């Protein structure tokens, strides 16, 4: 049972969690053995003679280093592209260079497509 999740990565949002109150229907021959309950913040199980505490653990959810590196690269690339577009809107020379760059990218895509089909 997952009682809660603590986020440890910079690109994870964990919200709307709520611990549940588990319940097992008692058995006729020994109604309490194996029952599980939440007692305040503690998870407990009945062993036939008393309630014993079950260790509460939390799952840490995060991204690995490669994923964080990739997302950071994407954020930098998006910021760079946004800045170039802003500059192109204000400067004719930057706009011209951007148009030539985009045309070169399209030409490269065409060449790659033709190369892949050969």
pLDDT at position 100, please? 97
Q: Is residue 68 part of a domain?
A: no
Does 1 share its domain with 58?
yes
Nearest to 37 by CA among 52, 20, 55, 22: 22
Domain hosting residue 29, numbered range: 1-62
Query: Which of the four pLDDT bands, split at 50, 70 and 90, describes residue 25?
Result: low
Task: Count structural domains, the chain.
Answer: 2
Q: Is residue 67 part of a domain?
A: no
Angle CA 7–8–11, to nearest 5:
80
pLDDT at position 13, please? 59
pLDDT in tens, 86-98: 999 999 999 999 9
Q: Is residue 70 part of a domain?
A: no
Query: Which of the four pLDDT bands, split at 50, 70 and 90, describes residue 70?
Result: very high
Does 46 share its domain with 84?
no
Does 36 share its domain with 86?
no
Residue 55 C-alpha from the chain's centroid: 26
Does 58 share its domain with 84?
no
């Amino acid at each position: 049972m997952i009682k809660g999740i603590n986020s440890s990565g910079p690109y994870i949002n964990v919200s709307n969690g709520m611990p549940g109150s588990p319940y097992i229907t008692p058995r006729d021959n020994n109604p309490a053995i194996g029952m599980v309950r939440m007692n305040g913040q503690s998870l407990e199980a009945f062993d036939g003679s008393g309630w014993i505490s079950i260790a509460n653990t939390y799952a840490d959810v995060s991204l690995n280093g490669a994923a964080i590196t990739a997302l950071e690269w994407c954020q930098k690339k998006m910021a760079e592209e946004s800045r170039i577009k802003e500059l192109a809107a204000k400067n004719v020379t930057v706009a011209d260079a951007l148009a030539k760059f985009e045309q070169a990218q399209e030409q490269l895509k065409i060449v790659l497509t033709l190369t892949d089909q050969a």
